[in-house]
A and B are shown apart, each in its own frame.
Chain A
Amino acid sequence: MRDLQPELRVNYCKLVVVTVDDAETSRELRNRIGAEFPFLIDADRTFIEALDIVDYTDPKHSPIPIPYTFVLDRNREIYRIYDGWWFVGRPTVEELRMDLRAVMSRRPDYSYDRAWDESLESREGAYGLGEVLIKKK
């Protein structure tokens, strides 16, 4: 996931990790791998139990989350779900990139519009992209 960070940054896309580790362990891991994204602490398993994504098969560490990955669009609509109980079910960076491309392409401003060159008002009206374009100037 760390390898995806530069692309997430320039595309304004976000990533969060939900973990059952405590805050200190998560801070250490986050620092060690150089992650910019937050680790959200579900140490008491309340959230993963509410979602029914709990794995009880490991005698030492259970309950632990089934390592699902969800890709959501800007409205929190689920676009893709990866069931990572088997390692091969976990997404690659390229798969996530393709998912984000698909989700981003739903935006009406995904393709360049020449009208944006012509007036500030049209840029500002372009689904919020105006703000981004103006900031870049």
Chain B
Amino acid sequence: MKMREDLKPGNKFPNFELPDQDGETLQLSQRMRGWPIIVVFYRGVW
């Protein structure tokens, strides 16, 4: 499977919103507050 086509350098990453480990909803841009960010996708604890 190929990743969504618009996910490539130079394009904007979605401003997604998910709950954190404590149940608080967090939006990406709110976390960034105008600074760079690294988004890591983790496969989970096996």
Contact B41 A128 (CB under 8 A): no
Complex partner residue of B41 from A50, A66, A96, CB under 8 angstroms? A66
> In the complex, what's the smallest C-beta–C-beta distance from A18 to chain B, in angstroms?
5
**What is the size category of the interface that chain A forms with chain B?**
35 or more
- Assuming the contacts A16-B40, A17-B42, A65-B41, asked whether A26 and B9 have C-beta atoms less than 8 A apart, the reply is no
Contact B18 A76 (CB under 8 A): no
> Chain B's interface: helix, strand, loop or mixed, by majority?
loop
Contact A79 B9 (CB under 8 A): yes
Complex partner residue of A16 from B2, B4, B19, B37, CB under 8 angstroms? B37
Using CB atoms and an 8 Å cutoff, list the residues of chain B in contact with chain A.
Answer: 1-4, 7-16, 18-23, 26, 28-29, 31-46
Q: A38-B21, A74-B36, A100-B38 are in contact. List 15 more A-B contacts (CB 8 A).
A: A14-B32, A15-B40, A18-B40, A19-B41, A23-B23, A27-B22, A38-B20, A38-B31, A56-B1, A72-B39, A73-B36, A76-B15, A76-B29, A76-B32, A128-B34
